[in-house]
Amino acid sequence: MLDVDKLSLNIPETTKPRVVIIGGGFGGINLAKRLKDKDFQVVMLDRQNYHGFWPLLYQVATAGLEPDSIAEPLRKMFGSDNYEDFHFRLVKVNSVNPIAKTVHTLVGDLAYDYLVIATGTKTNYFGNEEVKKNAFPLKQIPQALNLRSHLFQCFEQASMTADPELQQSLLNFVIVGGGPTGVETAGALAEMRKHILPTDYPGVDFSRMNIYLIEGMDRVLPPMSPEASEKTLKYLQDDMGIIVKLNTLVENYDGYVATIKGGEQIQAQTLVWAAGVQGALIDGLPAEAVERGRILVNRYNQVLGFDSIFAIGDIAAMKTEKWPKGHPGVAQPAIQQGKLLAKNLSRLIRGEKMEEFEYNDKGSLAIIGRNRAVADLPGNIHLGGFFAWVTWLFVHVMALVGFRNKLVVLSNWIYRFFTYENGTRLIIRPFVRKGDKVRRDFVDKYNVE
């Protein structure tokens, strides 16, 4: 029996200043890498034992990549690196006590000299519990695998019914949120509809498969330039046959029917919720330090009111003249803040002045489908089509962590480019949403031991 009371964080005592990093995401790993061989004990706490490369998560959900090619174990990343006095623990941090300078976890407390909160974001359902219960979020690897399993169960079931209404609801896919995740997921489904599904399921008429992309604002890819939005809309609608609804809000989803504000209903057994994120906050910071779900920090990433607590990446709101609402929730600010904070912590213990953070915006990219992407690059350069697509592929392979992952993803893409094959169309563990009793019973019946 596992006696949880006998577990503890078990971090060795040290005379060096202890830096506790909560989160091994883009911000956390870039900070930890650069604290190597500096005069600190570094403790990283994460509720998952790997660093996830979220820009490629939609490819896991749509059977393009296996999950292990977009994730790198944190112990491998730092343990095989002769990194002395680095300690990883797989644990969720529940709260912080800034007065006692401790963090609280399920297996005990840990004192820190410097605390870095790098917890990123979580899905925002805007308080709609029904949507939370029934929709498929796309923020974590287990969620992507759930969606993949569900998608292929829908196709299997669509091949086993002659009832047009049931088949239509199995072949209707609603994606809420026209940001990069929504656009990329819709595009990947459209590619599958064109190149893969008709061969896998010859009895199903895939001209009836509808992919809806629903966005509350008046354009897709709202964080990108109007030029990129316009090109993307054309690719989605005209070239790929995706039904895009702008200025449209989904009010409810019960697992079978999506209700749109105004009353329109879409019968769909799949709804992907890519409509918003909120900061993955940790309890214990004063209310004044938090604004709209993000932690307010100064130009050194110090949390408002605290000298020894820092926040970096998506969770941090650093308002500057150029970025009055804080930086965009993308990987580059997290990476750059992590790198600079490593230097600033060293400066801090030497009693030197810290350097202010200035975001170097390298532009943004989004992929829509095969040979189709958009790019906003510095200098007001907007690219679309094949050249942007190649740029997207190159940037993402280079940014992946781990040589093996780069190799696996690149060879996978090359193979897919020539064969049009998505190799991972597997239902390993049939996923059923909590509360979907009908599906549960059905799956249990065919999943006989």
Ligand X SMILES: Cc1cc2nc3c(=O)[nH]c(=O)nc-3n(C[C@H](O)[C@H](O)[C@H](O)COP(=O)(O)OP(=O)(O)OC[C@H]3O[C@@H](n4cnc5c(N)ncnc54)[C@H](O)[C@@H]3O)c2cc1C
In this complex, which beta carbon is closest to ligand X, that of residue 46 or of residue 436? 46
Of positions 18, 87, 89, 139, contacts ligand X by CB under 6 A: 139
Q: How far is the CB of 447 from ligand X (least distance, A)?
A: 29
Of positions 31, 138, 297, 375, contacts ligand X by CB under 6 A: 138
178 scored as a contact of ligand X (CB under 6 A): no
23 scored as a contact of ligand X (CB under 6 A): yes
Distance CA 270, CA 273 (A): 10
Alpha helices in 80-225 (DSSP H): 129-134, 141-158, 164-171, 180-195, 197-200
- For the record, the structure tokens of 74 come out as 């944190």
- For every residue of 197-251, DSSP letters joined together read HHHH-TTS-GGG-EEEEE-SSSSSSTTS-HHHHHHHHHIIIIIT--EEE-S--EE
177 scored as a contact of ligand X (CB under 6 A): no
402 scored as a contact of ligand X (CB under 6 A): no
Of positions 181, 270, 391, 422, contacts ligand X by CB under 6 A: 181
- Contact criterion met (CB below 8 Å) for 337 and 313: yes
- Letter string b/e over residues 262-276, b meaning 16 or more CB atoms within 10 A of that residue's CB: eeeebebbbbbbbbe
36 scored as a contact of ligand X (CB under 6 A): no
- Letter string b/e over residues 94-111, b meaning 16 or more CB atoms within 10 A of that residue's CB: eebebeebbbbbebeebe
Scan residues 117-136 and list those touching ligand X (CB under 6 A). Answer: 118-120
Of positions 282, 285, 297, 354, contacts ligand X by CB under 6 A: 282
57 scored as a contact of ligand X (CB under 6 A): yes
Of positions 34, 38, 47, 194, contacts ligand X by CB under 6 A: 47
Among 387, 106, 349, smallest CA distance to 231 is for: 387
* Site track for ligand X across 342-381, x = CB under 6 A: ----------------------------------------
- For the record, the structure tokens of 283 come out as 């309890």
Scan residues 287-326 and list those touching ligand X (CB under 6 A). Answer: 313-315
Instruction: Compute the CA torsion angle 430, 436, 438, 442 (nearest 10 deg).
Output: 10
Distance CA 357, CA 15 (A): 29
Distance CA 234, CA 189 (A): 17
33 scored as a contact of ligand X (CB under 6 A): no
64 scored as a contact of ligand X (CB under 6 A): no
- Contact criterion met (CB below 8 Å) for 64 and 148: no
Residue type, 20: V
Catalytic residues: 184
* Site track for ligand X across 239-278, x = CB under 6 A: ----------------------------------------
116 scored as a contact of ligand X (CB under 6 A): no
Strands 372-377 and 364-369: antiparallel
Stretch that binds ligand X, among 112-120, 163-171, 348-356, 441-449 (CB under 6 A): 112-120
In this complex, which beta carbon is closest to ligand X, that of residue 28 or of residue 67? 28
Contacts of 249 (CB under 8 A, 6+ apart): 214, 216, 260, 261
186 scored as a contact of ligand X (CB under 6 A): no
In this complex, which beta carbon is closest to ligand X, that of residue 134 or of residue 181? 181
Of positions 36, 75, 76, 92, contacts ligand X by CB under 6 A: 92
Q: How many CB atoms lie within 10 A of CB 343?
A: 16
Scan residues 327-346 and list those touching ligand X (CB under 6 A). Answer: 329-332, 334
In this complex, which beta carbon is closest to ligand X, that of residue 45 or of residue 266? 45
115 scored as a contact of ligand X (CB under 6 A): no
Number of residues that bind ligand X (CB under 6 A): 33
In this complex, which beta carbon is closest to ligand X, that of residue 174 or of residue 335? 335
Q: How far is the CB of 267 from ligand X (least distance, A)?
A: 26
Helix (H, G, I), strand (E, B) or coil at 25: coil
In this complex, which beta carbon is closest to ligand X, that of residue 241 or of residue 329? 329
In this complex, which beta carbon is closest to ligand X, that of residue 22 or of residue 233? 22
- Contact criterion met (CB below 8 Å) for 218 and 175: no
Contacts of 121 (CB under 8 A, 6+ apart): 139, 277, 278, 279, 280, 314, 315, 329
Summarize as ranges the residues that interact with ligand X (CB under 6 A): 22-28, 45-48, 54-55, 57, 92-93, 118-120, 138-139, 180-181, 280, 282, 313-315, 329-332, 334
